[in-house]
Amino acid sequence: MLNLGDGSSRNVVQSALDVAARSRGLVAHTTDARTVAEIETAFETARKLRVAGINVLSSPFLHAHRKRIIELAANAKLPAIYQWPETAEDGGLMAYGARLASLYRQLAGFAAKIVNGARPGDLPIEQPTKFEFVINMKTAKALGLTIPQSLLVRADEVIP
């Protein structure tokens, strides 16, 4: 498994990913990509390491270049999971996370409180409350994958 991040995105989750991989007998490799060239190098690294899949961590940079990442994953015949449900709708295999639109609404609420006089330091830290699991069956078919029924029934959305 290759964890693709941009440095800032993987700090919090890296140890959890390593523990999860080890508990399943997998080896997790991590690479950072801060440029498009580094994204392409990450996929070359994945090929050399013969990884079985890619975990694309959440980051504004990686999301901005998601179409290229989806294309590289398809060309490499590598299954990839993403952090934003919208990425599966764009052609990624699967995604689990909060929808960007809901995060923007939450952000707008914070902005409104600040405009109305709240001090930013007094506002509580909030996490998203709804996460979605989306599977793209067209991508699964293109990769030659059979998605287990146990995953399909757990998905919030299955794209035919």
pLDDT for 128-153, tens place per residue? Answer: 999 999 999 999 999 999 999 999 99
Q: Is 45 exposed, middle or buried (0-12, 13-18, 19+ CB in 10 A)?
A: middle
CATH number of 2-99+131-159: 3.40.50.2300
pTM to 2 decimals? Answer: 0.88
Q: Is the dihedral of CA 91, 159, 4, 146 positive or negative?
A: negative
Distance in angstroms (rounded) separating the CA atoms of residues 39 and 33: 5
Could you tell me which residues come within 8 angstroms of residue 9 by beta carbon, excluding any fewer than 6 positions away? 57, 58, 59, 62
Distance in angstroms (rounded) separating the CA atoms of residues 76 and 46: 9
Residue 80 burial (CB count, 10 A)? 25
pLDDT of residue 11: 59
E runs forming strands in 17-131: 29-32, 54-56, 80-82, 94-97
pLDDT-based confidence at 8, cuts 50/70/90?
Answer: low
pLDDT of residue 6: 73
Token pair recorded at residue 102: 């809901």
pLDDT of residue 18: 82
